[in-house]
Amino acid sequence: MSLAIYRKYRPATFEDLFGQEMVVRILREAAKQGKLAHAYLFAGPRGTGKTTTSRIIAKIANCLTRASNASFRARGEPCNKCSACREIDEGHSIDVIEIDAASNRGIDEIRSLKENVRVSPVSSVNKVFIIDEAHQLTKDAANALLKTLEEPPEHVIFILATTEADKIPATILSRTQQFYFKHAPLEMIVKKLKHIAALEKIQISPDALELIASSAEGSFRDAESLLDQLVSFGDKDITVEEVEGMVGKVGFKKLSGFAELLLQSNVKDALASLSEIEDGGYNLPQFTKDLIQYIRRVMVLKYNSEMKEMFKTEVMAEHLVKLEAHAKLFKDAHVNLVKSLITAYSQMRYSQFPIIPLEVAIVEGTK
């Protein structure tokens, strides 16, 4: 069985971990000084590197090369070559225990974990417990974990990962070092996808890469999974039309062209284009969401051209040129168009006829 792309290209060192510069800087410095904490909380959106970072820490805590080579230890990275690093990378280490709190959330599971904590590592220097979706723990289970988190044995490191930090009890937060992972910039996701495509000898257009990256909504893993899904069809030459069919989203060219019709108040052609988009089987609420975001960027550039620097991380360079051109078409009256589209989006998500609220928004918003 071939290895999934997101697993094959999972970062193995801090240097490979893109988009989380502050997190990497602090953890690498702690690794250089040999001052890893006994408990961490990693919070942030899915696919941003929380579990990957947890495994890198597990390798650093057990790397045999670091233990025997002071100059290498000063790099703050695992060697990825010693037996301990390889076992963790391959998922074979019996001293690195990954627990899914979504299915092991009760007090009995935590009591079993506490018993395991007392047992010394079998073949490694440290035991590392990675608790994923930690916000799913029951109240009793979280309370049972408190004392162990506060004073674990010297050979134990706890890493809790969650997508919903606000649901983690304050008593647990206070016993951990907290790191917050952010959505990866689109340009960074595109850069990594381009690198993977080159290594895998995949031909893919820049617009297709951009659509995959934007569909992933800041998640490296989701973007890599989408690319893998497209490659699984046996196609090594991927077009933007194929990506559109896969994700149900329109590419930048179609989206930009449609926005231009609205900004020109060309209702006739806009309604005809919308009908074609619906007939193409695209997700209309998603299309409306993307359209709102597009015209919002146009509006912002109209009134504050300095925002161009911020948008450079969110859109491709050639797409930013198109946004700037459309900013010149934006008029004060188009603010009503944005409002109408937002109203349509809230209505169409629950409508059996989602095209109707959008058609009404187009007619009303372009008067």
- Structural domains of the chain, ranges and CATH numbers in brackets: 5-180 (3.40.50.300), 186-247 (1.10.8.60), 252-365 (1.20.272.10)
> In degrees to the nearest 10, what's the CA dihedral of 187, 30, 82, 124?
-130
10-residue averages of pLDDT along the chain (367 residues): 81 91 95 93 92 96 94 95 94 91 78 84 91 89 85 90 92 93 90 91 89 89 90 77 86 93 95 93 92 96 92 86 95 93 91 91 86
**CB-based contact 226:215 (threshold 8 Å):** yes
Query: 320-348 burial string, b = 16+ CB within 10 Å, else e?
Result: bebbbebbeebeeebeebbebbeebbebb
Query: Using alpha carbons only, how large is the chain's radius of gyration in Å?
Result: 24
Residue whose entry in the numeric block shows the structure tokens 């257009």? 205
Here the tokens at position 197 are: 């495509």
Query: Residues for the chain: how many in total?
Result: 367
Report the C-alpha gap between 207 and 317 in whole angstroms: 12
Give 3-state DSSP helix, strand, coil % of the chain, rounded to 5.
60, 10, 35
- For residue 120, the 8-state DSSP code is P
Cβ–Cβ under 8 Å, residues 337 and 238: no
In three-state secondary structure terms, 357 is helix
Task: From residue 346, give the alpha-carbon distance in Å to each of 123, 248, 285, 324, 350.
Answer: 56, 19, 9, 28, 8
At residue 180, φ and ψ (nearest 5 deg) are -115, 120
Q: Which of 283, 288, 255, 275 is nearest to 361 (CA)?
A: 288
User: What is the distance between the alpha carbons of residues 247 and 212, in angstroms, rounded to a whole number?
Assistant: 8
pLDDT given at position 310: 87
Question: Helix (H, G, I), strand (E, B), or coil: what is residue 240?
Answer: helix
CA gap 9, 16 in Å, rounded? 10
**pLDDT for the residue numbered 234:** 64
Q: What is the predicted pLDDT for the residue at 236?
A: 67
255: Cβ–Cβ under 8 A, 6 or more apart, which residues? 287, 290, 291, 294
Report how far Cα 133 is from the mean position of its chain's Cα atoms: 15
For residue 104, the model assigns a pLDDT of 73
